[in-house]
A = this chain, B = another copy of it.
């Protein structure tokens, strides 16, 4: 019986805390002179990315290497997937190499779940599937918030959290929302109705996620503001009239934050479009936790790999 991390949906509060506690314990490893532990020596982690990625892939790769795992990167550009091989054949080929963990990014929702159903011995980690989930991003966002609130005697619960902008297409928003609902937080999604449809909110259960189309009203009283990346092609797809008009109405600026939620902190999953969904003064200002988010990426991925692939006695065969 192997475990997977396919999404935040369905995780209990205690499972979320287990990931966060473990991740926090790994933060320190990357700050050592010798930033490596032998925990996953002799384990194989295969990264199979059907969408291009630098940050997430590098972050997983470094995480695996700092745990002493062997890591292999397979990208779609070099892959026989191009030659029309089915996802099932690809998954079976990968399984034949006896990986302990398969980290998968795919443009189609549900692909990692498909892989997990067809693998008997490898754990699957979803590194982003379509507009569905991106669970390690949500975990690093939570870890960042916890590091911010705990020294103030607060925690991750009882927060008012808003997601601003292109909610409809955001796997980051989706994974984060499941997490905040599990933690019992008050969740809002804010943006124009084309990008923030009621059906989206309803998919989390009736009435659990509030939809607000006016920015100031949406920000009112928030503790946590999560700005989402606007993808430029949304304009051609007629989800927004044009970027200038969009940002005039929805760009999160210091002015509007100071007015509506002066105590709030701001997250952004990156890469940012400064001036479109977030203003430069917010991105680089004191309420921004954006650099801390990036800094937590490796620790969170180390925790996930560790929790899925560790075994009771990791050293017995190798240390002869």
Find out whether the CB atom of B96 lies under 8 angstroms from the CB atom of A295: yes
Q: How far is the CB of A232 from chain B (nearest CB, A)?
A: 9
Which A residues between 249 and 290 are near B, CB-CB below 8 angstroms?
A: 270-272
Find out whether the CB atom of B54 lies under 8 angstroms from the CB atom of A80: yes
Chain B residue contacts of A74, Cβ below 8 A: 54, 58
Find out whether the CB atom of B33 lies under 8 angstroms from the CB atom of A317: yes
Which A residues between 288 and 320 are near B, CB-CB below 8 angstroms?
A: 291, 294-295, 297-298, 311, 313-318
Find out whether the CB atom of B294 lies under 8 angstroms from the CB atom of A34: no
Find out whether the CB atom of B58 lies under 8 angstroms from the CB atom of A297: no
Q: Which of B31, B44, B294, B313 sits near A35, CB closer than 8 Å?
A: B44
In the complex, per-residue mask of A85-97: 1 if CB is within 8 Å of any chain B CB, else 0:
1000100111011
Q: Which 4 A-B pairs have the closest CB atoms?
A: A34-B42, A36-B42, A96-B294, A65-B70
Does A117 sit within 8 A of B, measured CB to CB? no
Does A105 sit within 8 A of B, measured CB to CB? no
Does A247 sit within 8 A of B, measured CB to CB? no
The CA-CA distance from A55 to B90 in the complex, in Å, is 9
6 additional A-B residue pairs with CB within 8 Å, beyond A31-B98, A42-B66: A30-B98, A44-B62, A53-B78, A58-B74, A62-B70, A92-B294
A binding-site residues for B, Cβ under 8 Å: 30-38, 41-44, 46, 52-55, 57-59, 61-62, 65-66, 70, 72, 74-75, 77-81, 83-85, 89, 92-94, 96-98, 270-272, 291, 294-295, 297-298, 311, 313-318
The CA-CA distance from A96 to B295 in the complex, in Å, is 5
Find out whether the CB atom of A271 lies under 8 angstroms from the CB atom of B38: no
